[in-house]
């Protein structure tokens, strides 16, 4: 049985146990750990004589009575969780996709935006929706922008309606697209899409594209467009409004509603609000917050949503400037 270098390291780690593995991993970077972890996942049962040969190479002895060592995802998860900090362990498991199995469209993530748009612009809108749901929001936004104007809204509507897609179907589509990508040089259903995916994509495109697409979606479904808008901007995002805009918002919001909304706000947002109002008004709200009794979460969320509607109205009137994702500033 011939083993690669990483496979030999995998055998050694499995043989020597968790403490030895912890010491080894501490001396490696994430890329090295990921490579060895992949070898552990893919490792077939190793006969005793091969294990002994590996251990001799490292000048160690094999514990008597062990006939073989089995790798696999369970063994790896145990080693990662026990020997690494939670963030690094999650990074390795996410890299290897241990929880969800093979991930579709991984090759497309590495393709240049130009090549990707050339390859996919003639695909069926349903296929494009599947793909957009798997790309990161920046790459999905680039692909969306490259599509013909009349297709964009249809693709996002389909994406918003997607819920569960059979893994076999995803991998079959992935296989076909991977072959196309090469030619150009370059279990259970998995949840894909939904209005959250659409909101994240639209947060990354320019304002003109955002308005055009949302307008077309609204013609198809006013509720879907409203749901997407609600996800694109939440009350906490008010901290990204410039000071002039905050003051415009405060003109149209009662102190009672603002106090209720701030009950669930971060300290950063509270500071942003208070510095744009008079000291007297700010102190009154601070005092009200301090002595406010138990409050229904639904009431707090309703107050926050009302203020979000005010913000969106003022933004449409060009009275508010909001800093959005991907470094864009939309007025």
> What pLDDT shows up at residue 326?
41
> What pLDDT shows up at residue 22?
74
**315-330 pLDDT tens trace:** 878 888 776 544 443 3
State the Cα–Cα distance between residues 8 and 287, nearest whole angstrom: 65
Residues above pLDDT 70, as percent of the chain = 72
Instruction: Enumerate domains of the chain plus CATH numbers.
Output: 5-96 (no CATH), 106-210 (1.10.220.30), 233-330 (1.10.220.30)
Rounded to 5 degrees, what are φ and ψ at 303?
-65, -40
- pLDDT of 60 higher than 50: no
Q: What is the mean pLDDT of the chain?
A: 75
The 8-class DSSP code of residue 58 comes to T
**272-290 pLDDT tens trace:** 999 999 999 999 999 988 8
CB atoms within 10 A of CB 66: 11
**292-307 pLDDT tens trace:** 877 788 788 888 888 9
- pLDDT of 192 higher than 80: no
Residue 310 contacts residue 252 (beta carbons within 8 Å): yes
For Cα atoms 138, 189, 202, give the angle at the middle one, nearest 5 degrees. 20
Altogether, the residues listed in the chain come to a count of: 331
The CA–CA distances, whole Å, from 180 to 107, 121, 128, 248, 260 equal 11, 13, 15, 52, 55
Rounded to 5 degrees, what are φ and ψ at 49?
-65, -35
Q: pTM for this one? A: 0.38
**For the chain, how big is the Rg over CA atoms in Å?**
27
Burial readout 187-212 (b: 16 or more C-beta within 10 A, e: otherwise): eeebebbbbebbbbbbbbbeeebbee
């Amino acid at each position: 049985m011939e083993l690669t270098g990483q496979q030999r390291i995998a055998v050694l780690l499995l043989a020597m146990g968790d403490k030895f593995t912890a010491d080894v991993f501490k001396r490696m970077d994430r890329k090295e750990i990921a490579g060895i972890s992949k070898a552990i996942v893919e490792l077939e049962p190793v006969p005793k004589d091969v294990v002994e040969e590996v251990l001799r190479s490292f000048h160690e002895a094999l514990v008597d009575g062990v006939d073989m060592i089995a790798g696999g995802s369970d063994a790896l998860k145990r080693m990662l969780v026990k020997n690494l900090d939670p963030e690094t362990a999650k990074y390795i498991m996410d890299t290897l996709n241990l929880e969800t199995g093979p991930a579709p469209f991984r090759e497309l993530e590495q393709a240049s935006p130009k090549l990707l748009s050339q390859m996919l612009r003639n695909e069926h809108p349903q296929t494009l929706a599947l793909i957009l749901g798997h790309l990161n929001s920046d790459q999905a936004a680039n692909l969306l922008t490259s599509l013909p104007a009349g297709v964009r809204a249809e693709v996002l509507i389909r994406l918003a309606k997607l819920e569960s897609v059979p893994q076999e179907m995803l991998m079959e589509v992935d296989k076909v697209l991977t072959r196309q990508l090469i030619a150009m040089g370059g279990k259970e259903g998995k949840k894909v899409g939904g209005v959250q995916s659409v909101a994240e994509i639209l947060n990354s495109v320019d304002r003109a594209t955002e308005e055009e697409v949302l307008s077309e979606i609204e013609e198809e479904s006013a509720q879907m467009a409203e749901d997407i808008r609600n996800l694109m901007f939440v009350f906490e995002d008010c901290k990204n409004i410039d000071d002039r805009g905050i003051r415009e918002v405060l003109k149209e919001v009662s102190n009672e509603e603002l106090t209720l909304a701030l009950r669930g706000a971060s300290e950063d947002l509270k500071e942003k609000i208070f510095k744009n109002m008079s000291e007297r008004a700010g102190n009154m709200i601070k005092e009200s917050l301090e002595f406010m009794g138990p409050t229904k979460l639904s009431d707090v969320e309703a107050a926050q949503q009302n203020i979000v509607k005010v913000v969106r109205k003022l933004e449409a009137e060009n009275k508010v400037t909001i800093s959005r994702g991907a470094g864009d500033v939309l007025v």
